[in-house]
């Protein structure tokens, strides 16, 4: 269990990551805002909560836990988290989407230390994660594979092919984390293509299901720890999140799925993040 102070530290780390995301998107001039901001707490908890086995100095060490990002478009949050974790210099973040940068618009396999897969076209990540989990099982290795996914990509048939196979093989060394933020690029998920009841659906495919508040650091860490102790079948953590979390004018707006802030909007967003929504004064004021 993390102390209250440790949790507070992680919360401010997530806040810094959100600020980095805004700066990266502003500099890039294109990219996705809502998803990365919404998943900042989950990525922070995963990489800084003591639940993931990794070494930024030896990023491909054989016994590392694998993190696969299926919905590649939220990569700004992955890149920012990896930089904070020491996988590559922090100043590289502002090269996002620029010519010659390892920070591709959608992640490219091993283009950067810690980037474990290629992702972008939706629905491909869980299959790749299953490949890793099967390899670990064949080799008798104990490392764990995590697959970060979106709710929108559950529209893809391939995702359900993968869910079916992982359930069939009782892949307990695999955990999927679904960003249940209820939006996709053209609207709300339940308007575009209704997904509910997600708990019943995953359960029917022989997965253990844990539902959490995706902004509660302690809850996220506890869910990941629990998922690792389930040996009967694979686990999906359905993380309920607010798209655009931390930036009021972006929150819960599907219009912010696939666009970056303007300079003016970025200024407002950064001010809001620095002052925790006006609760404290910013040193920049």
> C-beta of 166: minimal distance to other proteins in Å?
10
Q: Segment 234-273, which members bind other proteins (CB under 8 A)?
A: none
> C-beta of 142: minimal distance to other proteins in Å?
14
- Tokens 């474990």 appear where? 116
Locate 136 and state its tokens.
Answer: 């670990």
> C-beta of 156: minimal distance to other proteins in Å?
9
User: 8 or 61: whose CB is closer to other proteins?
Assistant: 61
Question: CB of 17 within 8 A of CB of 84?
Answer: yes
68 Cβ neighbours under 8 A, 6+ residues apart? 116, 117, 119, 125, 126, 128, 129, 132, 145, 146, 147, 148
User: 126 or 269: whose CB is closer to other proteins?
Assistant: 126
> C-beta of 65: minimal distance to other proteins in Å?
12
Interface residue with other proteins among 53, 63, 98, 135 (CB under 8 A) is 135
Establish whether the linkage from the previous residue to 197 is cis, with ω within 30° of 0: yes
Site string for other proteins, 149-178 (x = CB under 8 A): --------xx--xx-xx--x----------
Q: Which helix (H) or strand (E) holds 184?
A: strand 183-184
> C-beta of 160: minimal distance to other proteins in Å?
9
Site string for other proteins, 26-65 (x = CB under 8 A): ----------------------------------------
> C-beta of 67: minimal distance to other proteins in Å?
12
Q: Segment 64-123, which members bind other proteins (CB under 8 A)?
A: 66, 68, 108-110, 116-121, 123
> C-beta of 130: minimal distance to other proteins in Å?
5
Q: What is the spatial distance between Cα 108 and Cα 144, in angstroms, rounded to a whole number?
A: 21
99 Cβ neighbours under 8 A, 6+ residues apart? none
Q: What is the spatial distance between Cα 104 and Cα 69, in angstroms, rounded to a whole number?
A: 13
Best CA proximity match to 260, nearest among 33, 73, 38: 33
With CB under 8 A, what is the number of residues at the site for other proteins?
33
Q: Segment 194-233, which members bind other proteins (CB under 8 A)?
A: none
Q: What is the spatial distance between Cα 14 and Cα 37, in angstroms, rounded to a whole number?
A: 9
Q: Which helix (H) or strand (E) holds 236?
A: strand 235-240
Q: Kindly list the residues in this chain that would bind other proteins in the complex (CB under 8 A).
A: 66, 68, 108-110, 116-121, 123-136, 138, 157-158, 161-162, 164-165, 168
């Amino acid at each position: 269990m993390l102390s209250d102070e440790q949790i507070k530290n992680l919360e401010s780390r997530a806040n810094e990551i959100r600020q980095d995301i805004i700066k990266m998107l502003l500099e890039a001039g294109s990219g996705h805002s809502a998803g990365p901001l919404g998943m900042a707490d989950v990525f922070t908890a995963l990489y800084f909560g003591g639940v993931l086995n990794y070494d930024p100095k030896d990023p491909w060490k054989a016994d590392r836990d694998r993190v696969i990002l299926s919905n590649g478009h939220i990569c700004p949050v992955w890149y920012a988290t990896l930089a904070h974790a020491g996988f590559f210099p922090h100043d590289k973040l502002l090269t996002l989407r620029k010519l010659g940068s390892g920070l591709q618009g959608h992640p490219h396999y091993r283009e950067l230390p810690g980037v474990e897969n290629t992702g972008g076209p939706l629905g491909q990540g869980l299959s790749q994660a299953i490949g890793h989990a099967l390899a670990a099982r064949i080799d008798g290795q104990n490392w764990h594979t995590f697959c970060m996914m979106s709710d929108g990509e559950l529209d893809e048939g391939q995702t359900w092919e993968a869910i079916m196979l992982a359930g069939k093989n009782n892949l307990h060394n695999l955990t999927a984390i679904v960003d249940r933020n209820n939006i996709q690029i053209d609207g709300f998920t339940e308007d575009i293509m209704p997904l509910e009841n997600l708990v019943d659906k995953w359960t029917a495919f022989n997965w253990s299901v844990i539902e959490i508040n995706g902004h509660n650091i302690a809850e996220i860490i506890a869910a990941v720890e629990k998922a690792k102790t389930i040996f009967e079948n694979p686990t999906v953590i359905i993380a309920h999140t607010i798209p655009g979390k931390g930036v009021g004018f972006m929150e819960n707006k599907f219009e912010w799925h696939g666009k970056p802030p303007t300079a003016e909007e970025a200024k407002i967003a950064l001010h809001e993040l620095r002052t925790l929504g006006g609760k404290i004064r910013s040193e920049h004021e």
